[in-house]
A and B are shown apart, each in its own frame.
Chain A
């Protein structure tokens, strides 16, 4: 496999750092639902009936209602029930107590610090392992800058607070600029990047993929799954998810769109879970129509008078819709208003909604204040893009603001 080769050639890790290979947990988990009924220790007579009717895996058996199984297999209801109980017991994931989860967490690092103190505090230590973190914001606001910095942080040796691992960077919009990566590295960690060969080694650990279509992207994801477990990959970044998912589907209907999102979405989630690495994806924004502000049918329609000023403001919404938003564990919104850029923790199981003003410097993103501003109500989900001129402050020009 090509990707495997690239990873092998990518910056070698010191032998002492190469940990014992983790068991391929992802493989076993996928096998759980595909586990063969013939190997579940059912009475031979029953197992044969399942096989004869082509009900071969746990998935086949459990996706049918009980009575359909009775009709299909021609067995008694009781026989079917006890067979289903047996299959379920085997296909069921192990039960753990929350306490044992906590002990696991304490044993190994479980966050990638962003080195932005306020944000790290809000997120209980940084970008969590084993979960999907999403960055949403208008173009040019600093999402890619944030991703580049994260990639560097994950590559750094552990003694400098990094993860000492490899990074897979899926760059779907060709926004990954290596010279900028080195610049961020040199300004943020001068002591590391000035020493001989370190810049090369750090940058060598970041593997950039440029899938140009959804099918290529899907293919890479499948390869990545194996690679992550074998090659000490410590971070996966997809910048941007929206470009690859939406680009493909411009002409197709909404239904098809949603359908094609599903697979990468659940795949990324389970990948994060089983490899226990952080996965960071970026999402674009699109303008929102006023009639798109949704309410439940029991809510009285909001009176729109007096809200006209608000209406004139550019209303933005995340390009990937509500189903996507449900699926990400953490959503960070990058936005601009009142002449200032903000990172807003919009969805997080551990943090209330807070916003931090930031600037983009040569060392990447830096927060102007480490005390978050509390955000309330509908503000939590809205994305502002006011007073932010994308042409003036594109990703290439970095206004240095003293703080």
Chain B
């Protein structure tokens, strides 16, 4: 096969190698891709526009830092209609810890809708269907919720998603809150655990690519003894840390919540402050005045 014909066979993304794509095609596709906003502009900025579709993003942090909040926020924000600059997709929320509070999801959906109406009212004039779509309850109806009570169920659910996603093509985000819990609780054989988790992350990665959706895995933190002192680090060990494309750590910096990009092939490591308000995750700079400080 001559040089030129070999190149030609790869053009257009198919040919001899099934599923292959040239870097140029990938670039233009990446530029077309919309991202899921986190609700905080600074956080979106360091993430390159928001949470990326076709990628697996891991989010970790200490208890109470706001991992679940971010998970719920993304499940709501993925549904922002295309007319308002969103993806207009649906969400799958896999809850292994029982921390998904539907009342809070309702609040966040309300917050999201009221901001949309404030910011993009001019765009919505030509969009007659908006009153029906922009209701908190219709946002909640598009969040598919699985409550997992054992690691067997967790593996089963992720396997089952293969079929589920075939039926629900609108799903644009899968949130797993948290990937860790049952594996840390009940799985005794650590070597096997690593391999089972690896298989799970490969499947999720495949869904991400195949259906161009975002996968967000929430992870717990643990303490690790390095060079004479204890450090905080995300759970599940070093092998697992290779499993995700991006890794974001939420942490306290003084009195403010910050997000830090710990690992990403495309993003610079950076930090951004964010705020959790009654409406959900918002910018840290333009925050409403606090009632009273302690």
Contacts and interface: CB of A to CB of B under 8 A. Distances in A.
Interface of A: 29, 32-33, 58-59, 62-66, 68, 84-85, 87-99, 101-102, 105, 124, 128, 130-132, 262-263, 265-266, 269-270, 272-274, 291-292, 294-299, 322-323, 325-329, 331, 346-347, 349-350, 352-353, 355, 371, 373-381
B185 interface: yes
A327 B71 CA distance: 16
Contacts of B254: 377-378
B89 to A, nearest CB: 14
Contacts of B294: 355, 373-376, 379
20 contacts: A32-B149, A63-B196, A89-B159, A93-B146, A96-B147, A97-B145, A101-B102, A124-B103, A294-B230, A294-B232, A295-B231, A297-B226, A297-B231, A322-B62, A323-B222, A325-B63, A326-B178, A328-B63, A373-B294, A378-B252
A97 B142 contact: yes
Contacts of B68: 349
Given A85-B163, A93-B149, A265-B185, A66 B231 contact: no
Contacts of B104: 349-350
Interface of B: 62-64, 68-69, 75, 93, 97-107, 137, 140-153, 155-160, 162-164, 178, 180-182, 184-187, 192, 195-196, 198-199, 220-223, 226, 229-233, 249, 251-256, 260, 262, 269, 276, 278, 290-294
A294 B98 contact: no
B66 to A, nearest CB: 10
Contact of B256 (A131, A298, A377): A377
Max count, chain B CB within 10 A of own CB: residue among A292, A329, A331, A371: A329
A99 B140 contact: yes
B232 A296 contact: yes
Contacts of B180: 326
A110 to B, nearest CB: 9
B149 A85 contact: no
Main secondary structure of the interface of B (DSSP, over half): mixed
A292 B249 CA distance: 20
A93 B152 contact: no
Contact of A97 (B140, B185, B252): B140
Max count, chain A CB within 10 A of own CB: residue among B93, B103, B195: B103
A380 B152 contact: no
B162 to A, nearest CB: 7
Contacts of A92: 146, 153, 156-157, 159-160
B93 A98 contact: yes
Nearest to A337: B294
A48 B169 CA distance: 36
Contact of A130 (B63, B98, B164): B98
Contact of B223 (A65, A322, A371): A322
Contacts of A89: 156, 159-160, 163
Contacts of B252: 377-378
Contacts of B146: 92-96
| Interface pairs A-B: 3 shortest CB-CB | A377-B255, A88-B159, A33-B152
A345 B24 CA distance: 52
